[in-house]
Amino acid sequence: MYFEQFYFGCLAHASYLIGSEGEAAVVDPQRDVEIYLNTAAEHGLKIRHIFETHLHADFVSGHQELAARTGAKVYVGASAGATYPHVDLHDGFTLKMGSLNIAALETPGHTPEGISLVLTDSEKSSQPYAVLTGDTLFIGDVGRPDLSKTHTPAQLAGMLYDSLHNKLMKLPDATLVYPAHGAGSLCGRNMRAERSSTIGTERLTNYALQIPSRDEFVRQLTSNLPARPEYFSQDAEINRTGAGALDLSDLPAISASDLKMRMEKGEIALDVRSPELFAEGHVPGSINIALSGQFASWAGIILGVSSNPVLIAENMDQISEARLRLARVGIEHPAGYLEGGIAGWKSAGYELARLKQISVSELNDRLQSVNVLDVRREPEWQAGHIENAAWWPLDNFRVSPPEVDDSAPLAVHCKGGYRSVIACSLLERAGFHNLLNVTGGFDAWEKAGLPVTREPALATK
């Protein structure tokens, strides 16, 4: 049996290529499918089957294009309502592929159509080798139950409890667990960083599996859910109908004067350079989402699928990379890119804006004269935060900027400095002026041994 996990950190997304005796299946493919075609060819495998564990909400799947290019069948849970050619999956479905058996388990809860795939290599053992759990069971977490139009979160949470305890936890403890997402994904709350686990390990360590009753499980899983990005429902619908072939034809170059006029009309300029370079100098009003972090996820959350940003980058390689990553979440039609980048803007005679930086020691010295804004997610600030900091997670900026006092300097921080620069760029675009980015973020604050409080943070609107 051939088995490979492909992990894409920008989306915290895991997909899989599995094969036996020249035949292969792909599970939960990403938007750009060359990686599966090339890997299969390298190992003498023909892709004949494509499985979707559910209708993914956080990225656009490549199943339709991969099927068109290989002739493979697509398999998806029967409740998905998929409108493209496919095979509905139910309990009891088994696909034999060489010595490998792939058995479907209906495991709804994250979504109504969720399935898990149990892999058994008959040449080695009659016991399952692994289970691909999609977004039902993560490493240290379980799927969020609030992404359905047809079921309430409480209904889905109850279904999730049943799927976990009546199906997945019935597998042998040694069965390897391979989910569709890892740490950082908004499809769960607080996943661990490992890329795989076992049923036995999760049984002992996963907080959700320690909850003593179904009623309590439903209560906990439906309480304090993280904000649901607007683009999730749009991507799920794209995946229900199947995305067309990926088009990455050349983008037009946009002059500095044209970009300035576009921005005056409210169009978005997306700066994909590093936070450090953005702070040193950037187009006033541009939004920074650096390629170095979870770029695609944050672009989907902040900009939305229907956005058509003008890209600002250091070079054409960054433009190409940004274009591909944006397409993975459904932002497939950027308006173009700034010709000459920042140098082109300067040579046109336009001024650059700068973002002031402040170290954690400087912030500590100035706490009486500055306001502090924490833009981390709820589990992060619950674990510890700066006393009297206002809290407005970056996920909420799509709805509205925080209501904070702009008369005093506003020091913005996250965990390490990536999200805080995104937040500062959005605040600047919203008209805030006296901004300070805290370099190193809360990690640096803790490392310096500075005071941490675990009382409830002061949440702004």
- Segment 301-326 shows an average pLDDT of 96
The band of 224, judged by pLDDT with boundaries at 50, 70 and 90, is: confident
| The residue to which tokens 């619950």 are assigned | 382
Does the pLDDT value for residue 458 go beyond 80?
A: no
3-state secondary structure of 137: strand
CB atoms under 10 Å from CB of 74, counted, come to: 21
- Residue 337: predicted pLDDT: 98
Asked whether 59 and 30 are in contact (CB, 8 A), the reply is yes
- Residue 343: predicted pLDDT: 98
DSSP state, residue 397? G
Which CATH number applies to 356-459?
3.40.250.10
**What residue ranges do the domains of the chain occupy?**
2-241, 253-347, 356-459
Which amino acid is residue 270, in one-letter code? L
Percent of the chain with pLDDT over 90: 87
Greater model confidence, 9 or 420: 420
d(CA 346, CA 282): 10
- Segment 215-241 shows an average pLDDT of 92
Residues 6+ apart with CB under 8 A from 215: none
- Segment 164-169 shows an average pLDDT of 98
Does the pLDDT value for residue 430 go beyond 80?
A: yes
The band of 389, judged by pLDDT with boundaries at 50, 70 and 90, is: very high
By mean pLDDT, which of 7-11, 56-60, 91-95, 241-245 is the weakest? 7-11
The band of 454, judged by pLDDT with boundaries at 50, 70 and 90, is: confident
Does the pLDDT value for residue 459 go beyond 90?
A: no
- DSSP H helices, 273-369, are 275-280, 295-303, 316-328, 341-347, 360-365
Distances (CA, A) of 393 to 369, 378, 415, 422, 459: 23, 7, 11, 11, 9
- Segment 92-106 shows an average pLDDT of 97
- Segment 109-136 shows an average pLDDT of 96
Model pLDDT for residues 149-166, shown as the tens digit of each residue: 899 999 999 999 999 999
- Residue 347: predicted pLDDT: 97
DSSP state, residue 79? G
3-state secondary structure of 381: helix
The backbone torsions φ and ψ at residue 235, rounded to the nearest 5 degrees and listed phi first, read: -65, -40
- Whole-model pTM: value is 0.91
Average pLDDT over the chain, rounded to an integer: 95
- Segment 278-305 shows an average pLDDT of 96
Q: Which CATH architecture has domain 253-347?
A: 3-Layer(aba) Sandwich (3.40)
> Long-range contact list for 126-130, CB < 8 A, 24+ apart?
127/172, 127/174, 127/175, 128/171, 128/172, 128/175, 129/1, 129/175, 129/176, 130/3, 130/175, 130/176, 130/177, 130/178
- Segment 297-321 shows an average pLDDT of 96
DSSP state, residue 170? G
- Residue 403: predicted pLDDT: 87
d(CA 38, CA 219): 45
The band of 344, judged by pLDDT with boundaries at 50, 70 and 90, is: very high
Tell me if 2-241 shares its fold with 356-459.
no
**Residues written for the chain:** 461
Pairing between β-strand 100-106 and β-strand 87-89 as defined by DSSP bridges? unpaired
- Residue 456: predicted pLDDT: 63
Torsion angle of C-alpha atoms 391, 393, 394, 398, degrees rounded to 10: -100
Tell me the helices (H) and strands (E) count for the chain, helix number first: 15, 23
Query: May I ask the CATH class of domain 2-241?
Result: alpha beta
Pairing between β-strand 73-77 and β-strand 130-134 as defined by DSSP bridges? unpaired
- Residue 457: predicted pLDDT: 55
Does the pLDDT value for residue 414 go beyond 80?
A: yes
Does the pLDDT value for residue 436 go beyond 80?
A: yes
From the number of C-beta atoms within 10 Å of its C-beta (0-12, 13-18, 19+), residue 351 rates as exposed
d(CA 279, CA 24): 47
Tokens of 178: 């391979």
